[in-house]
Chains A and B, each alone.
Chain A
Amino acid sequence: MILQQLINGLALGMVYALIAVGYSLVFGILRLVNFSHGSVYAFGAHIAMVFVGMQFGIIPALILSIIFTGVLGIAIDKIALAPLRAKKSKAIAALITTIGVSYIIQNLLMIVFGSQTKFFPKLFDYGNVHIGGVSISTTQLFIFGVSLALLLLLTFIIRKTKIGLAMRAVEQNPKAANLMGIDVDFVITFTFFLGGASAAIAGTLISGYYQVVYPTMGFLAGLKAFSAAVLGGIGILHGSIVGGLIVGVSESYAAAFLGGGYRDAVAFVILIIVLLVKPTGLFGKKGVVKV
C-alpha cells in the first residue's frame, strides 16, 4: 500500500516536473514568473489531440504540437511581453500580463474546442509490470523515461551549446551580454520557444496518460507545477524535477491518508514551509545583490 502510493506519487510528480521545467526556463532568463505556462500546456495538449485525430500518428502529432506551441510561446513574448520590456515597465506589469494571457488562451480553447472533456488516445501501453506486489504501468515508466530524457536534453542545451552559453550570459547580466555581442532578443525568443515546446511535450504525455483533454486542465496543474518549481529552486532545472516529485508523492499520500479534500492543499503547504526555512528553494543559489 505505502509502496504502491509511492509509485502513484512518483508518476504524478513527473507530470508536475514536466510542467515545472517550463516555469524554470523562463524564470531563469527573464526573472519573470510566466503564469501563462499552464494554459500553454493545455494548448499543446489540444494541438496534439487535433493532429492525433487527423490520423497523423502520435510522434508526428507530438512534433507538430511542439512547433505550434513553441510558436505560441514566442508569440506571447513578442505581442504581450516584449513591448513591456521595451518600455522598461515594472516587473509586476509583466507578471499580471501573463495571467491575462493565460485567461485569453484558456477561453480561446473553450471557444474553439468547446469546454467539454475530450478523449486522447493512450500512449505506449503494454500492460502492467509487477514487482513484489507493486504494479507499475508501462505508461508510467514511459512518462518517467521521457521526462528524464527531456531534462537531460535541456541541461545539455544550456550547459554545452553556444546558445546555452548565451542563455546563461543573459541570465547573469542582459546588458553586459548585449555588449559582448549576444543577440539578447533572440535568446529570449529561443527561451520562450523552449518553454512552449516543453509544455507541448508535457501536455501530450499527460493527456496520453489520463486520456482526457480539457481547456482548464492547465490551471491547477500549472499552479502546483509552479510551487514545485519554487520548491526545487526556480530557475534550476533539476530542482524542478525534485520539486515535482516531492509535490506528487506528498499529494498521493495526502489523497490516500487524509482524504481527497486535502490533496490540493498539500502542495502549497509544503511550498510555504520550504519558503520559510529556505527561501531560495532546495537547490537555489543565493541571489546576487546588484548595486
Chain B
Amino acid sequence: MKKTVALLLVVMLVTSMLAGCQSQASDKIKIAVVGPLTGDFAEYGTGFKNAVELQVEEWNRNGGVLGREIELVVFDDKNNGEEAATIAEKIVADKDIKAVIGHFASGVCMAASPTYQEAGIVNISPSASHPDFTKEGDFVFRNNTVINVEAEFAVDLAVNTLDKKKVGILSVKTDWGTGTAEITKGLVAQAEGMVVDHQEVVDGTIDFGPNITRLNEAGADVIIVVAMYNTLAPFATQYKTVNPDIELVGFSNAYSQQLIELAKENAENIHFPTIFFHGSTDETVASFVSAYESKYGSSPSSLTAQAYDSAGIVLKAIEVAGKADRKVMKEELYKMTYPGVTGETKFDQAGDAVKIFTAVKIENGRFVEVQ
C-alpha cells in the first residue's frame, strides 16, 4: 500500500516537472492582469479582467503580437495590500510575463509597485490616482490622471457649472479619499467658493443621517462626494429626502451604471468629470462599447475603458519595440502616443498619463454629456 502511494507521488512529481518544462518552452507572450476579483470591489477587478481579455482577444484574432500568441494571466488581489505584494513576487518570478496591468486602489498599487520596479517589469495601473504612485520609479505607470487634475475639474463643475458657492465635502477615509478631500478644499478656496463643512465616513458606511444633518445645517448648496458609487448612491438618496434641492458632484470612479440603478431618480443631475464617456458618438468608443456589452452584458465604466487601453498600450509597445523585452518596452512607453477609447494617451516623465476630461451628468436616468 505504502509503496503504491510513494510510486504515485513520484509519478505526480515527475509529471508536474514535465508540465513545467512545457510551459517554459511555449513562445507565448504573457501579460498579467491583477485586481480584486472577489470581495467588496470585485466589480472593478472583473472590469479590468474583462477589458484586458477583450483587448488580447482582438490582438490574437489579428495574429497576436510579433507573430506570437498572447496569453493572459489573471490574479485576484482582493484589493488587499499583503495579497498584492505576494502576487507581485509571483509575477516577477515568471520570466514570460512581460507587463502587469493592474491593482485597483492606490494603496494596494503602492504595496506592489516596489517589487515591479526592483525586478524591472512594466506596471500600468488603470486606476491609481494617488500622486505618489508613479514616484516609485520608471517602470511604474498609470493610465489615469493624478487626482489634482480631476479634483480641479470637479470643483469647477460645482462652483462654476452648477454655480453654487457653498460647498460641502463628503469623503471616505482611505488614502485616496483623505488626500483628495484635502486637495479639493484648497481648490474650492481658489475657485472663490467656500467649504462650509467636511464630513468623513468609513468606506462601506450606508447610514449618512448624522453627516447629512451636519452638512445641511452648515447650509451647503452642493456636495462634492469623494467616494465610489456604493457610497454616493445611498448618500444621494438619503440627502434628497432631507433636502431635495441639493446638488451633487462625484468623481470619475463613481461614474458607473450601478449608480443609476441604485439611486434611481435621486441620481438625477449628479455631475462628474470623466475621461471616458460610454455614450460617446466617437467610432472607436462606440465599437468598443458594443463589443464589451455583447460579450459581458454590462456597459464598461471609465476605469474599465482605461484598463482596455492599458492593455492596448502594452501590446503596441511590444510591437513597436520589435521584441518582447521588459526593458526595451519601458523605453518605448515613454516615446509613444496611443490613440485609444479614452482619447490619446501619452506618458510624461513621471509615468503619468495626460488626459482630457469630459463632464457628464445624469438626466432622465441616463448619462449625458454636459455642454
* A residues with CB within 8 A of B: 1, 4-5, 8-9, 11-12, 15, 110, 114-119, 128, 135, 137, 210-212, 214, 216-217, 220, 251-253, 255-256, 259-261, 263-264
Q: A110-B42, A118-B261, A217-B206 are in contact. List 4 more A-B contacts (CB 8 A).
A: A1-B213, A8-B213, A119-B261, A256-B211
Contact A116 B42 (CB under 8 A): yes
Kindly identify which residue among A135, A211, A264 contacts B237, using a CB–CB cutoff of 8 Å. Answer: A211
Choose the segment among B52-60, B88-96, B185-193, B197-205 that binds chain A (4+ C-beta atoms closer than 8 Å): B197-205
Quick check: A260 and B213 within 8 Å, CB to CB? no
Query: Does more than half of chain B's interface fall in helix, strand or loop, or is it mixed?
Result: helix
Q: Of A12, A119, A264, which one neighbours B209 at CB under 8 angstroms?
A: A12
Task: State the Cβ distance, A104 to closest chain B Cβ, in Å.
Answer: 14
On whether the beta carbons of A5 and B210 are closer than 8 Å, the reply is yes
Q: Are B210 and A8 in contact (CB under 8 A)?
A: yes
- Chain A residues with Cβ below 8 Å from B214 are 256
Asked if residues A117 and B210 are in contact (CB atoms below 8 Å), the reply is: no
Q: List 5 A-B contacts (CB under 8 A).
A: A12-B207, A128-B241, A135-B242, A210-B206, A261-B202
The A interface, classified by DSSP as helix, strand, loop or mixed, is helix
Q: Considering the chains assembled together, what is the distance between the CA atoms of A256 and B41 in angstroms?
A: 28
Instruction: Find chain A residues with CB under 8 A from B206 CB.
Output: 210, 212, 217
Please classify how large the interface on chain B is, using the bins under 10, 10 to 19, 20 to 34, 35 or more.
20 to 34
Which 9 pairs, one residue from A and one from B, show the smallest C-beta to C-beta distance? Answer: A8-B209, A255-B210, A260-B201, A256-B210, A115-B42, A260-B200, A117-B230, A116-B43, A210-B206
A residues within 8 A CB of B15?
Answer: none
State the CA gap A211–B42 with chains docked (Å): 20
Q: How many A-B pairs with Cβ below 8 Å? A: 92
B161 in the interface (beta carbon within 8 A): no
- The 8 A CB mask of B207-235 against A (1 = contact, 0 = none) is 10111011001000000000001100110
Given contacts A119-B264, A211-B262, contact A114 B42 (CB under 8 A): yes
Contact A11 B209, beta carbon cutoff 8 Å: yes
Q: How far is the CA of A135 from the CA of B261 in the complex (A)?
A: 27
Which B residues form the contact surface with A (CB < 8 A)? 38-43, 173, 199-202, 204-207, 209-211, 213-214, 217, 229-230, 233-234, 237-238, 241-242, 258, 261-262, 264
Inter-chain contact B42/A263, CB cutoff 8 Å: no
Whether A212 contacts B233 by the Cβ 8 Å rule is yes
Q: Is the CB of B262 within 8 A of A117?
A: yes
* Distance (whole angstroms) from the CB of B338 to the closest CB of chain A: 30
A260-B200, A261-B200, A261-B202 known; A119 vs B262 contact (CB < 8 Å): yes
Q: A256 to B213, Cβ gap below 8 A?
A: yes
Contacts of A137 on B, CB cut-off 8 Å?
Answer: 241
B234/A210 in contact, CB under 8 A: yes
Rounded to whole Å, the gap between the CB of A50 and the closest CB of chain B is 16
